[in-house]
Homo-oligomer: A and B are copies of this chain.
Amino acid sequence: MDYQTIINSLKKLEANLFQTDFLLTWEKSEDQIKQILYVAEALRYFHRHHISSRCFDSGLAVSIFRDKSTRTRFSFSSAANFVGLGVQELDEEKSQMTHGETLRETANMISFFTEVIGIRDDIYLGTGHAYMKAVAEALDEGFQAGVLNQRPGLINLQCDIDHPTQSMADLLHLKTHFGSLENLRGKKLAMTWAYSPSYGKPLSVPQGIIGLMTRFGMNVSLAYPEGYHLIPEVTGLAKKNAAQSGGSFTIVDSMDEAFKDADMVYPKSWAPYTVMEKRTELFRNNDDQGLKALEKECLAKNARFKNWECTEEKMKLTRKGQALYMHCLPADISNVSCKQGEVQETVFEKYRIATYKEAGFKPYIIASMMINARFKDPVRLLEEMKKRNIKRVGF
């Protein structure tokens, strides 16, 4: 979309995200989702045209990573810098953060000058989203009680249920690739499990994808081997979404079937749901022996499905053999990052640059979430930025 179209599209929306958190895409209306997308596109336009998007004179963006992360860390830092916020990371030991009092207290202690907080907590089923809700409540209390002069906006940088910055970036990638959201109607997206010699990968990416893409009239086909199902609530939701949006949502147990006539494919490994459940339990009990046994069992289980690999041959099944390959990166590439993995080397190489571009939408999505959470009228803000026309480099 050119800049003026973005602004015109934004003006048509009835969306208000001021003072709200972004935890799950399905808590947001279609207009709110679009507002995040369009503001992100405007910011991308600004960056490409060397126009400054700095709208915070000062203030902090706090990140809490309860799992290792380089890419998301950089996306969050980049977005914060882009809009003018300083970044401060919180490295609390897990034990210090988990019990009630400390969490409430810490949430306030880190927020006196804070505009947004990004949290990644995706390791255990049933904890990440709950943790974010608890932080949100603590911030509400602190703001209402006058401890905080502003209510920092919370951004989910991946939890056990959803990965909204990823799925939204993926959606913007699709919008850009296919020309418009409208063009996505009737397109078939294959979200399929793929083999990887690793264990314990979260379910939040496939869940985020089926929870979001089903809202835009796509035909989403979810494929996985027996035992690798997702959280039932999310698949239920995907079904409902599809019905409402005029698309479809099906679950199949064959990669080939999902790939058949697909316009885009998203082959990606995740852990079996029951393994994730057991793992959460074992972690809670600090059962190292049990964890090792579980890893062994899980890897053995995975190994039965080595043929779930995105190969040249499988790609031929897709629409005209030309489906758009997607991945949240890093992918497990056969003969590159592992002996055998999610995708054949030649397939990945063909779409490598496309996956880099896909990842490139994420910082804009996060920056858009930051702005939408903290500005009452983001459209007016964008127009003022355009008019102000401060150079991003030089002056």
Contact = CB atoms under 8 A, between A and B. Distances in A.
Given A337-B101, A356-B142, A395 B55 contact: yes
Nearest to A353: B145
Nearest to A48: B149
A47 B148 CA distance: 10
A106 interface: yes
A60 B86 contact: no
Interface string A377-395: 0000100100010111111
A108 interface: yes
Interface string A275-307: 000000000000000000000000000000000
Given A54-B58, A56-B393, A86 B77 contact: yes
Interface stretch (A4-12, A109-117, A229-237): A109-117
Interface in A67-106: 70-71, 74-75, 77-79, 81-84, 86-88, 90-92, 99-102, 104-106
A365 to B, nearest CB: 12
Given A54-B58, A101-B333, A106-B70, A147 B113 contact: no
Contacts of A363: 112-113
A141 B115 CA distance: 36
A357 B145 CA distance: 9
B101 A57 contact: no
Interface in A99-135: 99-102, 104-106, 108-110, 112-115
Contact of A147 (B79, B83, B100, B360): B360
A346 to B, nearest CB: 13
Contact of A57 (B54, B102, B146, B337): B54
Contact of A105 (B147, B329, B374): B329
A283 to B, nearest CB: 22
Interface in A317-339: 329-330, 333, 336-337
Given A113-B363, A390-B57, A393-B55, A330 B105 contact: yes
A71 B92 CA distance: 10
B360 A112 contact: yes
B384 A395 contact: yes
A205 to B, nearest CB: 16
A171 to B, nearest CB: 18
Given A112-B360, A356-B108, A356-B142, A70 B92 contact: yes
26 contacts: A52-B57, A52-B58, A55-B393, A56-B392, A57-B391, A58-B83, A58-B392, A59-B392, A59-B393, A60-B77, A70-B109, A74-B90, A74-B109, A78-B112, A87-B88, A99-B337, A104-B352, A109-B329, A145-B353, A145-B357, A147-B357, A147-B360, A148-B360, A150-B393, A374-B393, A384-B395
| 8 A-B pairs with least C-beta separation | A78-B113, A81-B86, A52-B57, A147-B356, A145-B353, A77-B88, A108-B356, A101-B336
Given A58-B84, A99-B337, 9 more contacts: A47-B113, A47-B149, A81-B88, A86-B86, A99-B336, A108-B360, A112-B363, A375-B393, A375-B394
Interface of A: 47-48, 52-60, 70-71, 74-75, 77-79, 81-84, 86-88, 90-92, 99-102, 104-106, 108-110, 112-115, 141-142, 145-150, 329-330, 333, 336-337, 352-353, 356-357, 359-360, 363, 374-375, 381, 384, 388, 390-395
